[in-house]
A and B are shown apart, each in its own frame.
Chain A
Amino acid sequence: MANPVSHVGYRAIRFVQELGSIAAFTVDIARTALTPPVRFAAFVRELHKLGVRSLLIICVCGLAVGMVLGLQGHHTLVRFGAQRSLGAVVGLSLIRELGPVLTALLVAGRAGSATAAEIGSMVVTEQLNGLRMLSIDPVSLVIKPKAAAMLVVTPLLTALFIACGLYGGYLVGVGLLAGDPGSYMSSLRSAVNFHNDIECCMLKSAVFGLLLGLIATYRGYTSAPTAEGVSAATTSSVVISSVTVLLTDYVITALWGI
C-alpha cells in the first residue's frame, strides 16, 4: 500500500497540474478569441445547437417553476393577508436566484453534457488530431465557437426562463386562484429594481455561461480517447458545472450585496 503522505502529495501535485492545465486552456481560448479568424458561421451553428435546441426544455421548466412559486407563494401570502404581493415574490425569486441558477443547471445538463460528449468523441475518433495534422488549431476551430456560444446563450435562456416563470406564476395566481391581475403586475413592477436585480441576474448568468463553456469544453478536450473516457468526461462535466454554479452563485450574491 502506498504511503499516505506520498498519496496526498501525489494528489496535490495532480491538482496543481490540473489547475495549470485549465489555466493554459483558458488562455488558449482567449488567445484564439482575440485573433482571427472569427469563425462566425461556426458560432451561429453552435448557437443553434446549444440555444435553439434548449428552448423547449427551458420554457417548460420555467413555466413549471413559476407555477409552483405562484402556488406556494399564494398559500403563504394569504396567511398574512398579502396575496397582492404575489407578483413581487415570484418575480424576485426568479430574477435574483432561481432564474440564473436553474437555467445554468439545465444548460449544464443538456448543452454542457452534449458539448463534452461531442468533443470527447472527436478525441476518440482522432478528429482533433486530424485537424492538428492539417495545421489547424482545434481550439480555434472547435472549442472557441462552442465556448463563445455557451457564454451568449446562457443569459438569453435565463431571460426566457424568467419570462416563462413569470407567466407561470401569473397563470396560477390570477388564472387558477382568481388573484387580481393588476396587483400581480404592479407588485412585480415596483419590487424589481433594474440595478440590484436585473443587472445582478445578467451578470450571474454571463459568469455561469463562461464557466459552463470552459468546463464542458475542457472536460471533452482532455477526455481519455476511449468510450469510458468520454462517458467520464460527460458525467464530470455536469457534476463539476453544477457544483461550480452553486458555489459561484453564493460568491456573486455575497459580493453584489442583497
Chain B
Amino acid sequence: MAEKSDSTLQVTGSRPVVPLIPANNYISLDRVRMVYENRCVFDSLSCGFPRGRVSVVLGGSGSGKSTILRLIGGLIRPLAGVVTVDGQNVGRLSYHGLNVLRRKLGMVFQGGALLDSYTVFENVALPLREQRLQSEREIAGAVHEILSAVGVSDADDLLPGELSGGMLRRVALARAIIRKPEVLLCDEPFSGLDPISIRRMEALLVQINREFGMTMIVVSHDIPSTMRMADHVLLLLGARIWEGSPAEMRRSDDAEAAEFFRDGPERLQPQGKS
C-alpha cells in the first residue's frame, strides 16, 4: 500500500486502507464496500474527485465504474463506508435530504434514461416544470437555449425513440444540465457513438466544464477521448486503484496499468470476486 499526495500517483492494495481524501475533493468515497448478490465489486474503495475538474473513471467491464456514479447519486447505498458529496454523507441523508442534494447533481445515463412517452422538449423542460419557479414561456426559452447549445435545435416534437444515439445523449445531457447542477455525472457518454459524435460530445463536455465550472465525473471505455478531456483519472483494475493526472498515468511504470492503456479495457475480465 502506498499513499502519496493529491498531485502524485496513488496506488492502493486490496487490504483496507487509510483513505487519502484531500481537502479540495468535492466528492469522496471512504473505505466503500459494495457487493452485488455474491460478487464483491469493491472491498474497500477510497478515492476523491476534485471540485471543478473533469475526473474520468476507467476500468474493465464489471470493475464498478458505474457503481461509483450510482453511489454518489444515492441510487444505491454502500454495504460499508462513507460517500460524501459537498461534506454530506449520502448514505445518511433522508428522502428529502437526498432530493435536496440531487438538485446539485446532474446525471447522464448510458441509455439516456429519457422518458420515452415524452417529446424531446417535454423531457428537457421536465426538471424546470417540476420546480414550478418559472413561467411556461421562460421554460420554453431555457429549453430552446440549452437544446441549441448541445446542437439539437429542431427536435422539439420528436420522441426519444426517433433520435439517433448521438442526439439522444445530447438531449440527455441537456436535461441533466438545464438546472445548472454543480456536479455532472456521465455514464459512458461515448459508447455506441461514431468518431465524429464522440468528438462532438467530448468538446461539449469540456465546454460545459469550462463555462460553468462544473465538477464532472465521466465513466468511459473510450481511453483516447477521456484522456484528452481529463484533469484527473481514476483507474480501477481489480482490487487495485490508480489515481492521478493523465500525464502521471501515462508515465506509470506499472505493467498492468501500462497494458490497460496500450490494449484498452476490452482485454480485462470482470474484476469482482466471490
Interface residues of A (CB under 8 A from B): 37, 122, 125-127, 129-137, 141
Nearest CB of A to B198, in Å: 22
In the bound complex, residues from chain B placing their C-beta under 8 Å from that of A136 are 126-127, 130
In the bound complex, residues from chain B placing their C-beta under 8 Å from that of A129 are 75, 109, 113
Does A132 contact B111, Cβ atoms closer than 8 Å? no
| With contact pairs A125-B111, A126-B111 given, residues A133 and B116 touching in the complex (Cβ less than 8 Å) | no
**Distance, CA A126 to CA B110, complexed state (A):** 9
Does B109 contact A134, Cβ atoms closer than 8 Å? no
Q: Is B79 in contact with chain A by the CB < 8 A criterion?
A: no
In the bound complex, residues from chain A placing their C-beta under 8 Å from that of B218 are none
* Residue in contact with A134 in the complex, picked from B100, B111, B130, CB distance below 8 Å: B130
| With contact pairs A129-B75, A129-B109 given, residues A134 and B175 touching in the complex (Cβ less than 8 Å) | yes
Does A127 contact B115, Cβ atoms closer than 8 Å? yes
**Distance, CA A252 to CA B109, complexed state (A):** 47
| With contact pairs A126-B113, A127-B114, A129-B113 given, residues A135 and B73 touching in the complex (Cβ less than 8 Å) | no
In the bound complex, residues from chain B placing their C-beta under 8 Å from that of A141 are 130
Give the nearest-CB partner of B76 in chain A.
A129
Q: Is B235 in contact with chain A by the CB < 8 A criterion?
A: no
In the bound complex, residues from chain B placing their C-beta under 8 Å from that of A134 are 102, 126-127, 130, 175, 179
In the bound complex, residues from chain A placing their C-beta under 8 Å from that of B114 are 127, 130
In the bound complex, residues from chain A placing their C-beta under 8 Å from that of B115 are 122, 127, 130-131
- Interface size for B (C-beta < 8 A) is 23
**Distance, CA A69 to CA B130, complexed state (A):** 51
Contact with A along B96-140 (1 / 0, CB 8 A): 000110110111011101111000000000110010100000000
Does A130 contact B102, Cβ atoms closer than 8 Å? no
In the bound complex, residues from chain B placing their C-beta under 8 Å from that of A132 are 73, 75, 102
In the bound complex, residues from chain A placing their C-beta under 8 Å from that of B102 are 132-135
Nearest CB of B to A46, in Å: 10
**Distance, CA A37 to CA B159, complexed state (A):** 24
Contact with A along B156-194 (1 / 0, CB 8 A): 000000000000000000011001000000000000000
Nearest CB of A to B94, in Å: 13
A125-B113, A135-B130 known; 11 new pairs, CB 8 Å cut-off, are A37-B132, A126-B111, A130-B113, A130-B114, A131-B115, A132-B75, A133-B106, A134-B102, A134-B175, A136-B130, A141-B130
In the bound complex, residues from chain A placing their C-beta under 8 Å from that of B126 are 134, 136
Give the nearest-CB partner of A132 in chain B.
B75
Does B103 contact A133, Cβ atoms closer than 8 Å? no
In the bound complex, residues from chain B placing their C-beta under 8 Å from that of A37 are 132
Nearest CB of A to B130, in Å: 5
Instruction: List 8 A-B pairs, minimum CB-CB distance, nearest first.
Output: A130-B113, A126-B113, A133-B107, A135-B99, A135-B102, A134-B127, A126-B109, A136-B130
**Distance, CA A204 to CA B176, complexed state (A):** 45
Nearest CB of A to B181, in Å: 9
Nearest CB of B to A84, in Å: 52
Does B73 contact A133, Cβ atoms closer than 8 Å? yes
In the bound complex, residues from chain B placing their C-beta under 8 Å from that of A135 are 99-100, 102-103, 127, 130
**Distance, CA A44 to CA B175, complexed state (A):** 25
**Distance, CA A250 to CA B128, complexed state (A):** 48
Give the nearest-CB partner of B127 in chain A.
A134
Residue in A131, A135, A137 whose Cβ sees the most chain B Cβ within 10 Å: A135
In the bound complex, residues from chain B placing their C-beta under 8 Å from that of A131 are 115
Name the interface residues of B28-80: CB closer than 8 Å to any CB of A. 73, 75
A-B contact pairs, 5 of them (CB 8 A): A126-B113, A129-B113, A132-B75, A135-B102, A136-B130
**Distance, CA A245 to CA B96, complexed state (A):** 36
**Distance, CA A141 to CA B114, complexed state (A):** 14
In the bound complex, residues from chain B placing their C-beta under 8 Å from that of A133 are 73, 75, 102, 105-107, 176
Nearest CB of A to B48, in Å: 21
**Distance, CA A122 to CA B114, complexed state (A):** 9
Give the nearest-CB partner of A129 in chain B.
B75
Nearest CB of A to B59, in Å: 20
**Distance, CA A122 to CA B116, complexed state (A):** 8
Give the nearest-CB partner of B105 in chain A.
A133
Does A127 contact B113, Cβ atoms closer than 8 Å? yes
Residue in B102, B111, B113, B115 whose Cβ sees the most chain A Cβ within 10 Å: B113
Nearest CB of A to B217, in Å: 13
Give the nearest-CB partner of A137 in chain B.
B99
Residue in A129, A133, A135, A136 whose Cβ sees the most chain B Cβ within 10 Å: A133
Give the nearest-CB partner of B103 in chain A.
A135
In the bound complex, residues from chain A placing their C-beta under 8 Å from that of B113 are 125-127, 129-130
In the bound complex, residues from chain B placing their C-beta under 8 Å from that of A126 are 109-111, 113
Nearest CB of A to B93, in Å: 12
